[in-house]
Amino acid sequence: MTEPTNEQFKKLMAEPQKVSFKQLSIIRKALSKAHTGKIIFETQNTESGKISITVGDLISDESTLLELKKLLEKPVSSCELVTERIAEEMNELAPPSVFMEVMNQIKWHPETLEALRKTFAKLPPVNVRMVPLHRYGYNDGLTYLMLHHESLREKNFTPKSFLDHESKLTTLEQKIKVLILGYCLGLMTPDKSQMVKQTGNQATKKRASKKANIANRILNKIRGI
């Protein structure tokens, strides 16, 4: 199934800003769409690196782990995917074990964590697909389960509402981690029903504006008689 188009969702990490997490949209594209090639990047403190991708998977070795950790720890000044897409859709890819290992280990500086929170808070309503992440080596499957549960329970669910919901069981870092996993693995997608609703509302506003303009022209002609 083709992923629904939503410019706000697609530009989440890619839009120009002082603090850029464009790498997350690049990782999402590479892993969830089964690309083969390299992610080439430079962090904002000028550390550069590259990561090889093979059919949406990462080599599980120490070098890849260190490069991926470097890529995820800080905002980037540049990040691109140099790759070719395979022709066949791969909808049942298992999450790369090295990606899970980095997410288990990574710790963000408070400023970076806050910047990530603000970035994810911009997302429109989303749907969250349930995947038992503990089966793939992620240590905090419970927090992802909470994310999925809240997405089912709450109408027009957004990552912001998940982040704003106070809980003694989870920290902000735990929440950010499962949002990154959901986003990068393609488990979190725009809510189609909300996209249709927004498109319908825009069309209604355009029709109303057009009618108002016609009415104004008629009134102006009458007043000019």
Among 77, 150, 147, 163, CA closest to 113: 163
- Contact (Cβ atoms closer than 8 angstroms) between residue 75 and residue 21: yes
Q: How far apart are CA 28 and CA 36, in angstroms?
A: 13
Domain presence at residue 205: no
Domain presence at residue 222: no
Among 153, 152, 144, CA closest to 184: 144
Please give the pLDDT value at position 202.
56
- Contact (Cβ atoms closer than 8 angstroms) between residue 19 and residue 37: no
List b or e across 5-32, with b for residues whose CB sees 16 or more CB atoms inside 10 angstroms.
ebeebeebbeeeeeebbbbbbbbbbbbb
Domain presence at residue 148: yes
Domain presence at residue 185: yes
User: Within 10 A of 168 (CB to CB), how many other CB atoms are there?
Assistant: 5
CA angle 94, 193, 32 (to 5 degrees): 20
Tell whether the torsion through CA atoms of 81, 86, 92 and 98 is positive or negative: negative
Domain presence at residue 60: yes
Residues 6 or more apart whose Cβ sits within 8 Å of residue 143: 170, 174, 175, 177, 178
Tens of pLDDT, residue by residue, the chain (225 residues): 444 455 656 666 555 556 789 999 999 988 888 888 999 999 988 889 999 998 888 888 899 999 999 999 999 999 999 976 554 555 555 678 899 999 999 999 999 999 999 999 999 999 999 988 888 899 999 999 999 999 999 989 999 999 998 888 899 999 999 999 999 999 999 987 765 454 445 555 666 666 666 656 655 655 554
Please give the pLDDT value at position 160.
96
Residues 6 or more apart whose Cβ sits within 8 Å of residue 31: 53, 56, 57, 58, 93, 95, 96, 99, 184, 185, 186
How many domains, the chain? 1
Domain presence at residue 141: yes
Domain presence at residue 131: yes
Q: How far apart are CA 4 and CA 188, in angstroms?
A: 11
- Contact (Cβ atoms closer than 8 angstroms) between residue 100 and residue 138: yes
- Contact (Cβ atoms closer than 8 angstroms) between residue 27 and residue 50: no
Task: Report the SS3 class of residue 61.
Answer: coil
Domain presence at residue 126: yes
User: What's this model's pTM, rounded to 2 decimal places?
Assistant: 0.76
- The whole domain housing 186 covers 7-190
